[in-house]
Structure 1
């Protein structure tokens, strides 16, 4: 199969076409399957999923549960390596998972002026499953709108899932916003998404706009929004994954490898990292002045907040469930910079 696939690729190249070959991909997949068969660091999943056209289909995949076989191919053969990011904390967990030996840790103070960062966690709202209902979505939507209407330029709203995103839309956030709302959708191709983000950024020079997306998505982790391209980030929920065979496999594997840390490393920490990545989208340049609002009271819990980067953690303020106080905090922060 692989030989036939390679012939197809060569023929396509001769015709100046992309060297795609479905036969080659299937052959490579089966080859990898046999290579890792019996290895506890991998699991095999057969699940229902959706196509780009939102049609039901089935998917067979091999899931790697451990990055160390890849990372140690580099780390074991260098004298030293520097790993640097604003979202690596907790550093010991990061070190465990990528397989560094004899690591030295250093956390540097934030280069941002304290006047340019404000973090708020508001009580009274959460996307926790037992509280997730129409009334809660309306309450979250109204708080988000209070923020949107109080800030001078672009706002990014990153939700814990598409279900939560749809809950905000169904509660009328796009209809009631005084700024145009650009919505990230499931199965958007890269070209569609690039156009969406470009249109959103264009409004930074006007009265501002809202980008509504999800944590863990390309706009919450891969995009940069300096200056007024995003001067407020609203985080809705904590992106804990739904229970699934892949999540259970990851937890079970880490439980064996890291002795009792399975659920923390395999379930909680990935969600906290996604939350941190999204929260940092608006602070890209030293001159950036941006507000970060967490609309989920669970972030006030030390179990969550301890995993948020120190530069955000140091500026966090926890406020009660008060519309007036939230609006006042937002207006006061931006009033400093007018």
Structure 2
């Protein structure tokens, strides 16, 4: 139950917020969202299932709503709040705008911090070692001999860090740090941790201290999954003590699936294993050969088993019929018996090598702690062993998944091989789960103190069922579901026009027809965004229209011809100057593009955003559904298209006073049986359907 003090804090914070903002508009939907979130987290609906899924339409103010509904409850109940987002833009909005504002209005003090993964920080000891004269000769972690410019950059980084002018955060350096440099100094869990005295002041260790002290932590879905995969409470707070606000939650299923997937090359892995074999004695000597000899023997035995086995797999798979993308997928995830048996052998050898190297690495760390070996001598050796440890851990994960028999229940793993893009004679082995819901339940839903999943687009075809299947929730499991419509007056302020075009997108004549149709619907408009189904189609149409657009005195901005930021800024500048401006973009412009007011009044969607299942994972998922007697198109393609179409249409109205029209050039919403469901899932625009 919500305590009187929590209720009082929420009410007081809300009243203070009204007083702080001059143009504050009370919204019933926002107030309802605050109350429902607080009640859910307090267990008023289900003390054993404190989970809420909320679709909150544009303009409700969901970020302020979830801060109001979660932080006062957390502060009164000694819990932490983790807000996880999918985009940098939302993280910046929370850290720079929403949380500072909320801290001014809330009745109790709280602290907040932006959390980043270890890979965004350098290791101070590695940086010092590589920037030193001795370090220039150390190339174990460099793919090539460092160039003068790279050595100069390393020295600049070290000098700035030593003088306190740089925090060690990669994102805080004013210029891009090349991957070749960064990978040689990046913090890693094996060498850069607080258990070693010399590393307690390293950038990631300092960042972790701030995380431990903060009441509210802003992270992203990737970092959230990284922490959960490590067992939870390793980077972020313990799940049992944390209230998770997962914003932009429609991205979570893909991020979670990718985190459970793994891949590794065959000949490439054999190559770095040979390098590890050459370095093994050096690592063992640093760990005291008397104590480390048995681990050295075990490591070298594992490597000697792995290298020929990986080459044997390459030979075994060399005749597989790769498709035009250089891919061969194993049907139903089933491996040939010989490959399955060899996978089990590789998994055992990889595990043996991984455990042995970990022991050698720990022995070196112990000697550093005990003062038996100087840190300056041990650091480069530990950096090298950590580099190989990370690769061995990944190799073991890949082959553990390859050697895992398909379960009788649930979806199989997707397994495929792909030609290496950089080394054509090599193959990369890929393994990925098809469904991740059971894993999310295991790692998060069953452990967290409370969870809210939010987005402006969670439902597909006006139902939560598709999202539930993706994330492992059920509509009758005690989870609280809310669908809150946008406060905008769509019927009065916007039209949805479906013109009577002669061809459908799947017909060859459609692309050739687009230039003339687009000119008709661009005429008389000052700010337009045209969304295409592919870069190829967009560029074809752009080339055909460029001269006519220029002749009309209009300005065309095409995605890909400049950076995303530069393209959008150029469009905004034209709008400010009263010039006719047209944006051409693909699917990535259907989300996260904010063009309020006169920056967008004419949105043209060329086709329903159906995604063709071309990736091996998507193909395997469709295959699995068919095998179960289902229809992949209706169960995956149509729900996904519904969500993307809603997101695309959502670009038009961003504020309550906005107006304009959406033009959909795809007649399938009229003449296909799924079309009505797609139309009915869109906001309630005034519809103008043209018929012959």
Task: State whether TM-score is above 0.5.
Answer: yes
* Structure 1 pair 241–59 and aligned structure 2 pair: CA distance change class (3 A): farther
**Alpha-carbon deviations, 1:59-85, whole Å to 9, x = none?**
764444224245433223346644443
Corresponding residue to 1:77 among 433, 447, 450: 447
Relative to structure 1, the CA distance from residue 125 to residue 223 in structure 2 (aligned partners, 3 Å threshold; closer, same or farther) is: farther
Partners of 2:421 and 2:572 lie apart in 1 by 30
State the 1:148 CA deviation.
1.4
Distance 1:28 1:127 in 2: 49
**Contact preservation (8 Å) 1:254, 1:266:** no
Residues 1-338 of structure 1 aligned to structure 2 (within 5 Å): 10=123, 13-14=127-128, 15=154, 16=157, 19-20=182-183, 29-37=394-402, 38=404, 40=411, 42-47=413-418, 61-69=430-438, 71-72=440-441, 73-78=443-448, 81-90=451-460, 91-101=464-474, 102=476, 103-113=479-489, 114-129=491-506, 131-133=507-509, 136-151=510-525, 153-170=526-543, 172-177=544-549, 178=552, 179-185=554-560, 192-205=563-576, 206-215=578-587, 217=588, 219-244=589-614, 245-255=616-626, 260-300=630-670, 301-308=672-679, 310-320=681-691
Partner of 2:484: helix, strand, or coil? coil
Note the aligned Cα RMSD (angstroms). Answer: 3.4
Q: 1:121 to 1:61 in 2, by over 3 A?
A: farther
How far apart are residue 313 of structure 1 and its match? 4.8
Cα distance change, pair 118–76 in 1 and its aligned pair in 2 (3 A): farther
- Give 1:236 shift: 0.6
- In structure 2, what is the Cα distance between the partners aligned to 1:128 and 1:248? 22
CA distance in 2, matches of 1:83, 1:264: 25
Q: What is the distance in 2 between the residues matched to 1:283 and 1:121?
A: 18
Give the 3 Å change call, closer, same or farther, for CA 43–227 of structure 1 in structure 2. same
CA distance in 1, matches of 2:545, 2:677: 31
User: Do the aligned partners of 1:157 and 1:210 also contact (CA within 8 Å) in 2?
Assistant: yes
Instruction: Give secondary structure in 2 for the equivalent of 1:19.
Output: helix
Unaligned runs of 5+ residues in structure 2 are 1-118, 129-153, 158-176, 185-271, 273-386
Whether the 8 Å contact between 1:181 and 1:209 is mirrored in structure 2 is yes
Instruction: Provide the aligned length of Structure 1 versus Structure 2.
Output: 297
SS of residue paired to 1:77? coil
Does the residue aligned with 1:44 lie in a helix, a strand or coil?
strand
Q: Which protein is richer in helix relative to its size?
A: 2
| Distance in structure 1 (CA, Å) of the matches to 2:126 and 2:639 | 44
CA gap of 1:158–1:62, structure 2 versus 1, over 3 A, is farther
Q: Is the 8 A contact 2:505 2:511 kept in 1?
A: no
Q: Distance in 1 between matches of 2:679 and 2:459?
A: 7
TM-score (norm 1): 0.73
TM-score by length of 2: 0.38
Tell me the distance in 1 between the aligned counterparts of 2:613 and 2:607.
17
Counterpart residue number, 1:324: none
Q: CA deviation at 1:167?
A: 3.4
In 1, Cα distance between equivalents of 2:657 and 2:641: 29
Measured in 1, the distance between the counterparts of 2:592 and 2:598 equals 18
Provide the rounded CA distance (Å) in 1 between the counterparts of 2:495 and 2:627: 40
Rounded Cα–Cα distance in structure 2 between residues aligned with 1:92 and 1:317? 30
Deviation at 1:180, TM superposition (A): 1.2
Asked which structure has the greater CA Rg, the reply is: 2
Equivalent-residue separation in structure 2 for 1:256 and 1:200 (angstroms): 48
Structure 1, residues 252-305: CA drift from partner, whole Å, max 9, x if none?
234568x62533233332233222211211222222212111011112245134
CA contact (8 A) 1:154 1:232 kept: yes
Give SS of 1:211's match: strand
Contact 1:180 1:209 in 2 (8 A): yes
RCO higher in 1 or 2 (8 Å CA, sep ≥ 6)?
1
